[in-house]
Amino acid sequence: MATSFGKKQTEPFPAHDHDHRGCVQQALDRAAVVCSGRGARLTEQRRRVLELVWSGHRPLGAYDILEALSGEGGRVAPPTVYRALDFLQEQGLVHRLESLNAYVGCCATDDTGHAGQFLICQNCGVAAEIADTRIEAAIRDSAAEAGFAIARPTIEIEGMCPHCRTGDA
Ligand SMILES: [Zn+2]
Ligand SMILES: [Zn+2]
Ligand SMILES: [Zn+2]
C-alpha cells in the first residue's frame, strides 16, 4: 500500500481485539506535537473531543460526542462541540465524512496535509483511512485539466472490511 504517512501505524482495519489504547495515545501525542508546533491551543476540551472521536474506529456524529460530554457532568452546548471539531479538522487531526455526517480520527503519524481516502465498512461501520498520494495526484491532475477548483477532496468508498468478509467480526 502506498502511503504518504511518515510511518504506518497499524493495519487499515485493525483486529477487533487490538490494543486500542495505543491508537488513542498515539493520536493524542501527535495532536500535542502538531498543535504546539503551530502555536495552536489544544485546550482540555478540544483534547477531550479528540479522545472521544477516537473512542473507536467508527466515525462518530457530533451529537454522539455531545452526549458523551454531557454524560460527564459538564453542560456542553452544541456550538462548543462543533467549534472543537472545526479546530481539530483545521489541524488535520480529524476528518469529516459527509456520507455519514460523522467524524473520524486521522491516522497519519506525521504533519503532512492530505485529503484522505476512506474505506468504510457498511457492516460494522469502521472507516479505514488510506492516504494514497497516487490517488491525490490523479484527482489533482484531472481537476486541473477540467479547470475545476477542488473544495473537498476527501473520498469515501463503501464496502465490507476484511473482518466482516471473513466473519470474524
Ligand atoms: Zn484502535
Ligand atoms: Zn488523515
Ligand atoms: Zn466491517
Residue-range domains of the chain with CATH: 20-166 (1.10.10.10)
CA of 52 to the centre of ligand 1 (A): 12
On the question of pLDDT at 3 being above 60, the answer is no
CA of 32 to the centre of ligand 3 (A): 30
Ligand (nearest to CA of 160) = 3
Ligand (nearest to CA of 107) = 2
Ligand (nearest to CA of 23) = 1
Q: Is 118 exposed, middle or buried (0-12, 13-18, 19+ CB in 10 A)?
A: buried
CA of 108 to the centre of ligand 2 (A): 5
In whole angstroms, what is the distance from residue 128 CA to residue 51 CA?
17
pTM metric for this prediction: 0.88
**Digit-coded pLDDT (tens) for 8-51:** 456 889 998 899 999 999 999 999 999 999 999 999 999 999 99
